[in-house]
Amino acid sequence: MRFTIPPTTLQTLVGNVFKHAEIADPAEPARIIIEVMNKGYTIVVSNRKREGNAAGVSHGIGMRNLRRRMQYVYGDNFSMLEDNGGDYYQLHINVQFIND
C-alpha cells in the first residue's frame, strides 16, 4: 500500500515540540506517535508545555499551514484536533485513505 503525507508535516510537528514542549523532564516525555493502518493513519503529538518566556512566541502559523496542506491533499478525509488548554498540548491527526 502506498500513501502520501504532505511535505514538511513531520518537520513542522517535531519543530513545534522542540520550540514549545518541556523536553527536559524524563518523567513526562514529549511524544509523537504515528500509526499506519489499512484504512489510513493517525499522528498523535502530546507534551507538557514550557512555562513562561521559555516557550517562545507562537503565532500558530505552522499549524495553520499544516492544516491547509492536509486539506489540499486529503480534502474532507482528515481531521486535525488540537487541545492546547492547561499545562499540556495534544494534537490528533486522523487520515482516511480513499479507495481508488
pLDDT tens for 27-74 read 999 999 999 998 999 999 999 998 865 556 677 889 999 999 999 999
The DSSP code for 55 is G
Provide the pLDDT for residue 100.
57
Residues 6-25: pLDDT tens digits? 989 999 999 999 999 999 98
Provide the pLDDT for residue 21.
93
**Among 65, 18, 23, 13, residue whose Cα is nearest residue 43:** 13
Provide the pLDDT for residue 97.
87
The pTM score is 0.87
Domains of the chain with bracketed CATH: 9-96 (3.30.565.10)
The mean pLDDT value for 66-89 works out to: 94
Is residue 77's pLDDT more than 90?
yes
**Among 36, 46, 39, residue whose Cα is nearest residue 82:** 46
Whole-Å CA distances, 13 to 4, 20, 56, 98, 99: 16, 11, 15, 24, 27
Alpha helices by DSSP H, the chain: 9-20, 61-74
